[in-house]
Amino acid sequence: MRSDVMKKGVTRAPHRSLLYAMGWVKEEMERPLIGIVNSANDFVPGHKHLHQISAAVKEGVRLAGGTPLEFFTIGVCDGLAMNHQGMHYSLASRELIADSIEVMVQAHPLDGLVFIPNCDKIVPGMLMAAARLNLPAVFVSGGPMLAGRFQGQPADLNSLFEAVGRVKAGTMTAAELQELEESACPGCGSCSGMFTANSMNCITEALGMGLPGNGTVPAVAAARVRLAKKAGITVMQAVRDELTPAKVLTPAAFANALTLDMALGCSTNTVLHLPAIAHEAGITLALDDIQAISERTPQLCKLAPAGADHIEDLAAAGGVQAVLKRLAEKDLVDTGCLTVSGRTIGEQLAEAKILDENVIRPFTNPYSTTGGIAVLWGNLAPNGAVVKQGAVAPEMMQKTGPARVFNSEEEAVAAIYGGKIKAGDVIVIRYEGPKGGPGMREMLTPTSAVAGMGLDKDVALITDGRFSGATRGASIGHVSPEAMEGGPIAVVEEGDLIAIDIPARKLELLVSEEELQQRLANLKQPQPKITTGYLARYARQVTSANTGAVFREVDVT
């Protein structure tokens, strides 16, 4: 066992003494040591119950003959960090999460790991760590929040962000807003739509790193506790079988994950995280690969914010396994891929059932013949841009309009709420990329403001930053290269015409090539917004969004 280097032999007597100091008995020391990587904190509603999940995982580990050792990571709540300085730290926390787990696991040799994530950057950060460390590992998330109810209709966190715009527009009262804010998020779990956290938890299941149900069993269900116990039992079998992430995280597994992504209409943030996880596994996942999978995969589900269904509805319809089963009908997933359960995807799908074809549509009636996410290219985004096309109104799929240019999210939000944006405008928000932000802030506030003020079918938004999984409308993000790297988005001028053609995968600034090159030659970059602390170091190391915003490899020769 890997942990033997810490606990066996005469020279390890001091180490064993430290373990005895914690009340251990010899029998515990002789068992495999399993790290329980918990992201619990008191800030995040998705984490409120993770101590209960952790306790169940530990029970499972002990039932199967292991000794659990829990440690914790940081975790940012994107909702609480939204539209103030805190959002600079959200994406940047992903690298810290992966690095901190590496530190703990390498400093204290363990035999296996159970990861307990919930919420946006924690899931990918933990998956990056699992791929990097390559120890037997199982994921069990905290699960999704149930949807709330407001005036007889389902509600969620995104309903609040859009309601702010409705209040500003005079179509909702302050009293109604207060009623909504007390009912939209009814309890613990990751926010109830197909936002980034739930997208990544579902994708973890398709990758084979989580057990069936990981993405959709509600946080408050007893089945979630049972799943946690099973995760503890399963990791012990993985240790015995030497089943490591390298055997699970194959190119075919990433293709399966992206296929599920497209069928569900997941958050555009998955296009940041999957390439970063693949990078840790030694696999290159480019935007071209992502677009190819989107082109062949129909969108079969439309969950909030794009539609009325929530994660609990997907769970009732059969969950992720049911969607994978449907995709397997057309050979769109590789059923031979191995999972942490020790079974293949195909063996797991033998138990899956599609229980509601209104939630998981048949191939004869898809929402779209292509995937929920599209990659756009053109002179405005030479290295690509990303849009959640499954959440775009039909009338906005092709659009040409004048640019309204802003150098920060705050400037754009002030203009939207100030009534300065008109139907037909194309809002451009730049210097919000991984380096320029820094941290590539998630911009749910401007997109929700546009939707709340009734302009989501009339106004497009383009940025080198990124959007929340809760975003809907013609919101095009991840424009690469970003402005701070000298990308063409840096030289867009007020009133320039921009042409968006999502079906043709095009994003074009309608100026001559000569004019564009002249502007780029004359570009003078602003000073970095933040020059001290972690964010300054992050900005110096991070790459553009098309790479997954991974850190640059440093040549030390």
Q: Which helix (H) or strand (E) holds 204?
A: helix 196-207
Q: With contact defined as beta carbons under 8 Å apart, do 381 and 507 qualify?
A: yes
Supply φ then ψ for residue 476, to 5 degrees.
-110, 115
Give me the count of residues in the chain: 557
SS3 state of residue 396: helix
Q: Catalytic residue, from 192, 468, 475, 480: name it.
A: 468
Helix crossing, 444-452 with 409-417: angle to 10°?
10
Token pair, residue 427, equals: 């809002």
- Is there a catalytic annotation at residue 468? yes
DSSP category for residue 394 = G
Report d(CA 311, CA 266) in Å as an integer: 12
Interstrand relation of 381-387 and 475-477 (parallel, antiparallel or unpaired): antiparallel
* CB-side neighbour CA atoms (13 Å) of 460: 30
Report d(CA 256, CA 456) in Å as an integer: 32
Report d(CA 411, CA 484) in Å as an integer: 17
User: What is the rounded (10 degree) CA torsion for 192, 196, 199, 200?
Assistant: -120
SS3 state of residue 535: helix
- Which residues, 6+ apart, have CB-to-CB distance to 104 below 8 Å? 35, 37, 71
Q: With contact defined as beta carbons under 8 Å apart, do 50 and 117 qualify?
A: no
Instruction: Tell me the C-alpha to C-alpha distance, in Å, between residue 400 and each of 118, 387, 403, 424.
Output: 39, 16, 9, 8
Catalytic residues, by residue number, are 468
